[in-house]
A and B are shown apart, each in its own frame.
Chain A
């Protein structure tokens, strides 16, 4: 009994000490209720240097948290445990959050830098008049491949190439229902927002034929596997492909001609916001030409900020693989919110596809 008490006292003492140290650390970095904002973003999706700069310029401290899927982000916002002030969801999620009344309308007079954005990316169908959102980055879905590891010559201008019998056990797919089902639909010439059961059946059957070629279905680990020549071909997002290319120069990226996904991530202010004014300041700061250029350099995805593009390396901004012109963009489709039933249907089909692999 004595030992138990002694142990308990020791644990309490250590905990108290740690709490004290923690509070001291908090003090030195100057935390105070109204001078902070909480930013909720995708992983590896913002140059951390810019957060310090924002604090220097405005005196507002940024608490930075990350999520790995739109759905996880929305769940957290819905539950409202943390007061997120700014978040960066994708377009279809904004539609959904709007329906659920989870967004705070933006005050455009507090975001003068909105003028920097290329008008092509403004007033899009998922948020007419940019009432709730401001574009952050955009990109495509395509095929990253390493010609050095392939025996035959493929340029992946067609999705059909992935089904070639020479590519047994070579293709890595991203673990996401919309992207994989979308690829199946696109390869048959259907829309990646299809809700037609016959089309979806055809896409599922088509995907089942791909299984001998599939090496794995994984998440962000794709980047590391491609960098280290562990894998030759990956279905992935444009920015991830660029991440691979920074390290492994043999890698190339292609968006197949049958069509693919064009997506936009956007800055929004969720209903959980505690510092709406600070959130506006942050959004405006991120839209500044110089800041956006530095951020785009660091992140690697395509920026919708026209003023920033002028400050960036023309070799990057002129690269059609990552900044496709309007004609190519015309062939690409933006995801629509499919509603809960169809989302379930897509996921169920994706689950069945994964189960068919073994």
Chain B
């Protein structure tokens, strides 16, 4: 699904922030991305989300070499990836419902074809009473749930989440993690970037640990480190 081969990334003429990354994300897999602040987690997420291009190495996403894709082709590929931003990135002038439905609207869907699905999902994430509320009046946790709902509404083949439980209380964090696990069970590959070590304890999953731009992979199922 995703394959990084000797990937390096630098911003402008600065030092490499990611060095020689080689790993893969398989379909239906579940993994955490951890590491200290400033280690390169966000940069790696941006590469995975096709928001940045690697300065060296090969990044293959859904069998496409991303360096050869046009901007529009990257946009189309991005439809198969859901992302949850740490800062939510909700559009303040749209209601919660409209924010969650945004990816479907971009796909050109008629509202009648998705309305009940969006409402069902909002009910599930606990925003059933807030469908007509605008983001500025939502709490941090509500924004987080809306952002997650927007990322999963199209059932992406891969879901990337940047600190998805950073703004919610432990019970809600547990419930959101269960949502990611359920999605993973139905075939979506999930990668969660987090500092929250308690999350790592709740799900036995592969861990990608990034330190100073270099990556170590720990897979509890295969008990090996540093490989694919």
A and B: interacting chains: no
